[in-house]
Amino acid sequence: DRPTVVDLLAGVVLCEDNDEYDEIKDYVLGIILAAGKPLFSQSMPSQGAPTCDHQSLHHLLFPEILYFRLEAAAIDNTSIIPIKSSEAYTIDPVLDRAFMEELDTNDHLARYIPEKIVVTKLFLRGTSSVAAAVQVDGRDMFCKARGLFDTSEGREVEHLGKMLRAFPQQGTLRVPQLLGYIYHKDTKQVLGFLRQWVPGRRLSEIDVANTTAETRRKWVSQIRESIQLLHKQGLVWGDGKPSNIIIDERDDAWLIDFGGGFTDGWVDKELAETTEGDEQALAKITKLLSGDNVLVFSS
């Protein structure tokens, strides 16, 4: 008998060689895409389709799902057939509540369903994450959503919660304040968080050479002060670098992105998510702002 796509997929499951695994997987994917190209092309939005701005966050987190069945009598006789959702086997990650016991949330903060959140500017949209400027009840905020447990977003929301407890008065610490959580209205699962929106530019986008020495000294002082305040509370910035600093409309420096990790050129891998790593990043940012050197930024 001629082999089918199912036979190839079975081989992928049993394959122990990584290169062979990738080769078979790519080959199978090519067969599926070729068979479904006419249908997939019809399902894709046109180039003139509206952007995601000013749509509800729910639309981005839970887009329409199309269901298909793979019919493969043989590799050269493969077809894709549209089916109803009731005929498909799916796993919805939203129904997984196991991580809820692990996520440290603040019970006093407001909770919002994504249907009530309007996206005003989309920064990132992946298969499991959204980062966007949003409006909630007419107020500008920033959100990160979808899948928090054991992720950089989970680390960030927990750190922002700890900062809120340590610095309840807005303005005490130049870090955007945690404002609330996004949750699924049926399962009550926390899908993401909302924080204060700080309009401005990333330090990595600013022409430091044409910035006055007085302003650069102010930024160094503000960044150092924020890091010191965090360390006194046992908190760490984590991925310190110019692209994680916002210079607001008043020329004040804010620290953002507490998801952890490190970036080559700013923090050594062995110092990631430590106070020593923060100090290393601070020293390099201070050197940048001293105006004595020209740097190429890493994102």
Cβ neighbours, 10 Å, residue 252: 14
Q: Residue 240: CB partners within 8 Å, gap ≥ 6?
A: 227, 266, 267, 277, 278, 280, 281, 282, 285
Contact yes or no for 56/117 (Cβ under 8 A): yes
> What pLDDT is recorded for position 100?
46
CB 194 within 8 Å of CB 141: yes
Q: Count CB neighbours of 159 within 10 A.
A: 21
- The answer to whether the pTM exceeds 0.85 is no
Per-residue pLDDT of the chain (299 residues; tens, 9 = 90+): 667 777 877 777 777 787 888 888 888 888 888 888 888 777 665 544 445 567 899 888 887 788 888 887 677 778 888 888 888 876 665 544 444 446 778 889 999 999 999 999 999 887 667 899 999 999 999 999 875 545 677 788 889 999 999 998 878 899 999 999 999 888 888 889 999 999 999 999 999 999 999 999 999 999 999 999 999 999 999 999 999 999 999 999 999 999 888 999 999 999 999 999 999 999 999 999 987 554 444 44
User: How far is the C-alpha of 53 from the C-alpha of 121, rounded, in Å?
Assistant: 5
pLDDT of residue 118: 95
Enter the tokens of residue 70. 């793979």
| Residues in CB range of 10: below 8 A, 6 or more apart | none
